[in-house]
Structure 1
């Protein structure tokens, strides 16, 4: 992307909130947010993130800032969230480097669970307004009709391509999650390999703080236990690896889950996998996650008491 291709609002925003205009574009990416890596006229490198303003961003950035202050490995925000029309915008320091950890073995699950336990322990001391609505892949508590939260870009597509086993697994997992009525906490809801960077055996960076959620601890841990190995298109970890993740998390936190919490964790792992499998089916993505879901659904539902 060239400088003259940047959004019209961005140069003035950088000058107002960062004290310098863009002199070069380092990168541009689009996922939940549109992300611009910029070099300013004074030589500083910054990252500016813009996403649709749904009311969540301020809490997410505030929580990220608290963790960065405490030394948790994440990018440090440079500004609070600022409204720009229909967008929520903030800037943060770059945190380049590190490598993606590939694999879904129990050993890798334990390494990831230890990071997730540290992350959740840090967030337990952060007080922000709940970042609602939750990201759709953990929004089983929605009030929309049907199994899935309403997402126009998905709902307008041909639903017949979504296998019945995906819908059934989601429906049963959702009933179990809603029946538990556990208290909600702040947590990272997109804990995937693609959002972590490692230097050797040490985690270097956790990214995607846009995806904080307000759900029961056990549900957030369960979702992570199924998704931690996703280094690209979403996948579902083997059951033995999810089991190792859950056990390691409890060990690090020094508290055993109750029987209900364990059931909720397994249900959440299945809901997120079903949501992702549906999205892949509707958008013509890889069927790998749906295949893993088909192979594992019966056992995960049994463990969820669903």
Structure 2
């Protein structure tokens, strides 16, 4: 769907669902999937954020339900204003309240690790009784065991590229992490699967907004925390937090929840801490981007694997 045609479809949907107003195209983001963001200034409801993405309507509907649960519990996030509808071809659309402002933290130090982990623990407390049903497969940066049996989750564009560009040690680490996480039988819970600094906004040290609710996942709690402990410091350029910061993140989460992880959960957390960086390092290699995640991964993987129980 070209952008002009999409704008027409989205505008028609907004006028039908949200009433009269003005639609403005904001941006598109290329990641594991492509999403398009618009602002719709509704005469009746005020400004809304409208998001279009190639997703399952069932999955996005469940994400919106859980986002509503969070905002109704006082968690800092936008409020869904509509359900999800389908657009042609293969795209879905929904709208939420416009929540600008706040600042992105660009320092992955220990103090920020504690604040970020505490906020994730607050969300876990809100969602702990919610069923993980309906969320389907996680996004590729959290999808370490795809049902295809392949190492990486399917992505036609990425899979068609020259895989020899990916360093052998990245593939070897990914296989070790995938096997370790496949051997876990921890129960699934609901959590945020893209806990990067770029998705959080702060008012000083107080949380202002958590974005990207499409990235809710159904995974073991330790895996969600572990992945966040590695990714929490990422801004516009994804990286891997320092070992000390990841350790502080996991410990702070345990303190905030008032319960320590078991030995098994600690290993799962450290294994999962590697996967977002593995996903990003593979992407850097294939697209020949600066090796930010690749360098951090190469330096830290031996110690993280050891803590994950991988020898």
TM norm structure 2:
0.93
Matching residue of 2:65: 62
C-alpha change, 1:127 and 1:283, in structure 2 (3 Å) is same
1:222-252 deviations in Å (ceiling 9; x for gaps): 0000000001121000001000000000000
Choose which of 163, 167, 170 in structure 1 pairs with 2:171: 167
Q: 1:41: Cα distance to partner?
A: 4.5
Q: 1:53: Cα distance to partner?
A: 2.8
Q: 1:43: Cα distance to partner?
A: 7.5
Q: How does 1:1-306 map to 2 (within 5 A)?
A: 7-20=7-20, 22-25=21-24, 27-31=26-30, 32-42=34-44, 44-54=46-56, 55-85=58-88, 86-127=90-131, 129-306=133-310
Q: 1:285: Cα distance to partner?
A: 2.2
- Contact 1:50-1:89 at 8 Å conserved across structures: yes
Alignment partners' CA distance in 2, 1:158 and 1:233? 23
Alignment partners' CA distance in 2, 1:235 and 1:35? 24
Alignment partners' CA distance in 1, 2:85 and 2:23? 22
TM norm structure 1:
0.94
Q: 1:128: Cα distance to partner?
A: 5.9
C-alpha change, 1:43 and 1:189, in structure 2 (3 Å) is closer
- Contact 1:27-1:38 at 8 Å conserved across structures: no
SS at match of 2:7: coil
Alignment partners' CA distance in 1, 2:278 and 2:29? 23
- Contact 1:130-1:186 at 8 Å conserved across structures: no
- Contact 2:132-2:189 at 8 Å conserved across structures: no
Alignment partners' CA distance in 2, 1:11 and 1:24? 6
Alignment partners' CA distance in 1, 2:45 and 2:25? 12
Alignment partners' CA distance in 2, 1:56 and 1:115? 24
Runs of 4+ in 1 over 6 A off after TM superposition: none
Unmatched tracts of structure 1, length 5 or more: none
Unmatched tracts of structure 2, length 5 or more: none
SS at match of 1:274: helix
Number of aligned residue pairs: give it. Answer: 303
